[in-house]
Amino acid sequence: MSTKAQKLKYIEDLVAKCHKCQLYKTATNPVPGQGNPEAKVVFIGEAPGYYEDQQGIPFVGNSGKLLDKLLVKINLSRQDIFIANILKHRPPQNRDPLPQEIRLCTTFLKAQLEIIQPKVIITLGRFAMNYFFPGEYISKVKGQVRKIKWNGLQLTIIPVYHPSAGLRNGAMLQALEQDFQKIGQFLDTL
């Protein structure tokens, strides 16, 4: 029996070889995801940006620095959690993910979640939220604690704004900080 870490490495290798869409052609590195294979909490972002593409690691740019600050406030570190994205290769000029790219690429995310079997998922921004709640609006659902059955897993999903929104807009930063407090309170009940 292989361990969760070995199974995640297998997915990483598939991501590295993936040519299912065109994004690998313009990307520097794949960004499969990183963190604790035994994590109870998984964070899901949108897609790698410039620095993530350079380093092959999720959330290492400005959004990542804000994410790290928000994590510290609720006593979480990257060693405790797993972080992944909807797309594993950077879209050119950080354009929005296309529906077809999301459809093709989220087979990897689905496999990662089935391996990790987290209890809680924090979606960062609308693309990750819409993966679980298609057609819903981030401004409406952010900060809600939602329990769902998903691919045989009992999950609690807490959608929040993407950290990049918090970097652009003070009101959204405030909302993010409040929603992270909620996340912390919820995790304390587990």
Residues lying near ligand URA in the complex (CB under 6 A) are found at: 45-49, 52, 58-59, 61, 63, 85
Tokens of residue 70, six digits: 């928000």
Q: Give the whole-angstrom CA distance, residue 45 versus residue 137.
A: 16
Of the two residues 118 and 125, which places its CB atom closer to ligand URA in the complex? 125
Of the two residues 85 and 112, which places its CB atom closer to ligand URA in the complex? 85
- Shortest CA distance to 88 belongs to which of 72, 110, 71, 66? 110
Compute the half-sphere exposure of residue 22: CA atoms within 13 Å on the CB side of its CA. 5
Of the two residues 52 and 179, which places its CB atom closer to ligand URA in the complex? 52
DSSP-derived letter for residue 78 is T
Q: What angle do CA 103, 144, 43 make, to 5 degrees?
A: 50
Smallest distance, Å, CB 61 to ligand URA?
A: 6
Contacts 24+ apart (CB under 8 A), 167-175: 167/62, 167/63, 167/66, 175/142, 175/143
Tokens of residue 167, six digits: 């970097």
Smallest distance, Å, CB 147 to ligand URA?
A: 24
Of the two residues 60 and 155, which places its CB atom closer to ligand URA in the complex? 60
Smallest distance, Å, CB 168 to ligand URA?
A: 13
Query: Which residue has its beta carbon closest to ligand URA?
Result: 45
Smallest distance, Å, CB 60 to ligand URA?
A: 7
Do the Cβ atoms of 69 and 119 come closer than 8 Å? no
Of the two residues 59 and 108, which places its CB atom closer to ligand URA in the complex? 59
Smallest distance, Å, CB 96 to ligand URA?
A: 11
The single residue listed with the structure tokens 């693309």 is: 127
The single residue listed with the structure tokens 């590295």 is: 16
Of the two residues 129 and 175, which places its CB atom closer to ligand URA in the complex? 129
Smallest distance, Å, CB 104 to ligand URA?
A: 17
